[in-house]
Amino acid sequence: MKNNKHPNSRKMISLGQIAGWIAVFVVAVLLFNRPGTKSNLLDYSDFKQKVAASEVSDLSVGSEVISGMYKNEQGQFVPFKTVRMTDPDLVKELSAANVKYKAEKDNSWIGNILFNVLWIVLLIGLWWFIFLRPQRSDGKSAMSFARSKAKMQNPAEQTVTFKDVAGCDEAKEELQDIIKFLKNPKKFQKLGGKLPKGVLLYGAPGTGKTLLAKAVAGEAGVAFFSASASEFVEMFVGVGAARVRDLFDQAKKNSPAIIFIDELDAVGRRRFAGIGGGHDEREQTLNQLLIELDGFESKQGIILMASTNRPDVLDPALIRPGRFDRHISVPAPDLKGREEILKVHAKKVKLNEKVDLKTVAKGTPGFVGADLANVVNEAAILAARADKDSVEPADMDEAIERVIAGPQKKSRIISKHELQVIAAHEVGHTLVARLTDHSDPVHKVSIIPRGQALGYTLQLPVEDKFLVSKSEFKDRLCILLAGRGAEEIVFGEITSGASDDLNKAMAYARKMVMELGMSEKLGPIALPSGEESEVFLGRDISRHTTYSPELAKVIDEEILNLIRSSYARAKEIISSHRAAFDKLVTVLLEKEVVEANEIDEILGLKKPEVQEETSAQQSADDLAKQTAAKQAGPKEPATQGDLFDMEGK
């Protein structure tokens, strides 16, 4: 391996060390020869005369030297020293002259050395320890702040492979080419193909982007450098760029290798945007990263992988072809993917034979890999707390509810009247959800507080949905407003318990009118809501004034009409089924939790049939997802507003 350092670098370092040593020596000499109080040297005979005349004071009598103060010709007391002679009568003469004195032990030559030399050695040693000490193996010396903090994993230490990753088959297929190229680069180079310089993994938090990067390194059997983007930027100017250079230098020495940068948006956000301009240190780090991506060739066998939750705020120069050539979406898993993920995590847990992971997967729509891992772990903890031999279905159900709504709070004291209001509110949601045609089935209703909720109605879909119709939106509005309507019908008064429902209903209605073209009066148009311009996420300040005040008035009217009509419809459904409503409220107050079968029995309804997906439909859904992901790309990803709430209330 060639040494790319400048040939004069060692000479420069040695000159710098010599200059440091000279500076230390000069400081030591100055400190050692610091100016002090000058003492007059007296002959011993003169000293005796001064004692007899009582013109001395503050004597320190040592075995070899006598020092103190004496009166000079001007009548001032000044310091003096004299060599002590053999004089047995000295003490008597001092006492007779009434001169105060004290005995002082003279320092030995060893003490003088320790006092005058040792502190100089200590200063030099401190200088060496801080500045001149060689670089330690852990990389934590004082002068190593410019070195990369990336952690390197040797191929022998990597145990994560694609067997440990489930629920993202499309992403794994996209990464297979990289693995094959790292294993056999000549196969692609003979046809003129080049290895992608950068691979960007983007998706919601917890979907397994970091795990995918580790699996690629494990499958390829190459060195793996992992670092967080926030580790590059420090308080010192230029440190981020220096760490980027050092990271790529380490990867080149250990090629073929994979460099993985987590949360790339920490340093890769758009430059010269937002309030107050850009962050100079962050932008220097980004510029160095762009230079490194342009600088190394594919034949070096280095691949840069990065992950982000916000690809929309990344700098366009970073994600263009030639830098991050491949953009891979890692979406939330579907029903089949959730089942595979549960199987991976369930290997470490002792499950009861009655636990059906497919049923658990059906009850966790919208969950990502991290959520599913948490469900399995929570179920194991609950089973161990109850001294069970294995994890039972009841433990899995409780774990799902804990992840969705939080732990139960049975100790919370609620008055009888408030409990009745909560029960009526939740039964209103349950009744309307069960009697509308386009709503998800009700799994259970409870008035046991969980998290911040005093009660909840749990709706779970029978299949994954990627499209939501206008009728489904209207039913959701009706269900959200049913709790408020039930309070008004039963008690003749409303409470603050529907605040979250009102916020969700308003968001749905605004989305229908302004973004999805579901307003009959406005027609198929989409209008900017003004919420997508986030200044502090690397975007410029922008004002949306693309529609007139008259159109804004029509928008407000359409939103209010949707809310009011849905509220009236919910109250009508509750009023027309008042007997079943009252009966369900009574049962809920007695049992606190009512399951789906008992709800259907009270309402006189049949259990909804689960529609199993055929293989053809599943293939069509997979094709639709792949097409949508490719069309969207990382520049315009699906926002949180596009991810519809699958859990209901």
Does residue 607 form part of some domain? yes
Cβ count within 10 A of residue 141: 16
pLDDT at residue 10 greater than cutoff 90 = no
CATH number at residue 599: 1.20.58.760
Measured CA to CA, the distance from residue 525 to residue 89 in angstroms comes to 118
Residue 163 in domain: yes
Flag whether 103 is in a domain.
yes
Q: Which two three-digit tokens encode residue 359?
A: 């049923």
Whether 337 is covered by a domain: the verdict is: no
pTM over 0.75: no
DSSP state of 136: P
pLDDT at residue 349 tops 80: yes
Same domain, 436 and 549: yes
For the CA atoms of 15, 17, 18, 19, the dihedral, rounded to the nearest 10 degrees, stands at 90
Residue 150's pLDDT is 66
Do 597 and 568 belong together in one domain? yes
- Supply the pLDDT for residue 182: 77
Q: Give the HSE-up count for residue 3: Cα atoms under 13 Å, Cβ half-sphere.
A: 6
The catalytic residue positions are 426
Comparing 261-270, 297-306, 462-471, 611-620, which segment has the lowest mean pLDDT? 611-620
Q: Does residue 262 form part of some domain? A: yes
**Residue 530 region, left (φ>0) first, then alpha (ψ -120 to 50), else beta?**
left
In terms of domains, do 187 and 158 share one? yes
400-412 pLDDT, tens digit per residue, is: 888 888 887 777 7
Written as six digits, the tokens of 44 are 């011993």
**pLDDT at residue 632, rounded to an integer:** 38
Mean pLDDT confidence for 115-119: 67
Closest Cα partner for 454 from 406, 492, 491? 406
pLDDT value at residue 315: 86
| The total number of structural domains that make up the chain | 4
Tell me what the mean pLDDT of segment 79-88 comes to. Answer: 78
What average pLDDT does range 160-173 have in this prediction? Answer: 86
Mean pLDDT of 604-631: 44
* Position 270 in a domain: yes
- Statement: residue 143 has pLDDT above 60: no
| Percent of the chain at pLDDT exceeding 90 | 24
Q: Is residue 449 part of a domain?
A: yes
Domain co-membership, 129 together with 161: no
Q: Check whether residue 179 and residue 118 sit in a common domain.
A: no
User: From CA 588, how far away is CA 580, in angstroms rounded?
Assistant: 12
pLDDT at 140 over 70: no
Q: Can you give the residue range of the structural domain that contains 285? A: 151-329
Please say if the pLDDT value at position 384 is more than 50.
yes
Cα(588)–Cα(584) distance, rounded to whole angstroms? Answer: 6
Q: What is the pLDDT of residue 38?
A: 60
pLDDT at 201: 92
User: Helices 416-435 and 578-591, interaxial angle, to 10°?
Assistant: 130
**CB contact at 8 A, 496 and 483:** no
Q: How confident is the model at residue 256 (pLDDT cuts 50, 70, 90)?
A: confident
Q: Calculate the average pLDDT of the chain.
A: 77
CATH of the domain at 400: 1.10.8.60
Confidence of residue 612 (pLDDT cuts 50, 70, 90): very low
Statement: residue 16 has pLDDT above 60: no
CB atoms inside a 10 Å sphere around CB 100: 10
Q: Which of the listed residues 405, 425, 455 is the one where a domain comes to its end?
A: 405
Residues 400, 420 within the same domain: no
Say which range, 56-70, 214-228, 433-447, 490-504, has the weakest mean pLDDT.
56-70
Contacts of 177 (CB under 8 A, 6+ apart): none
pLDDT for 139 beyond 50:
no
Higher pLDDT, 151 or 202: 202
Residue 122: which CATH number? 3.30.720.210
182: CB partners within 8 A, 6+ apart: 195, 220, 222, 256, 258, 301, 303
**Interval 213-219 mean pLDDT:** 86
Pairing relation of β-strands 56-61 and 65-71?
Answer: antiparallel
Strands 257-262, 151-153: pairing is unpaired
Which comes out higher in pLDDT, residue 424 or 128? 424
Alpha carbons within 13 angstroms on the beta-carbon side of residue 353 total 0
Give the pLDDT confidence score for residue 169 in this predicted structure: 85
Q: Let me know whether 291 and 199 are in one domain.
A: yes
Of 73, 103, 133, the residue that ends a domain is 133
* 111 and 164 within one domain: no
Lowest-pLDDT range of 361-375, 580-594, 629-643: 629-643
Residue 140 lies in a domain: no
Element (H, E) at 202: strand 198-202
Residues 438 and 461 in one domain: yes
Contact of 426 with 456, CB cutoff 8 Å: yes
- Which of 101-110, 422-431, 598-607 is the most confident on average? 422-431
Task: Give the C-alpha separation, 286 to 278, whole Å.
Answer: 12
Q: Does 207 or 132 have the greater pLDDT score?
A: 207
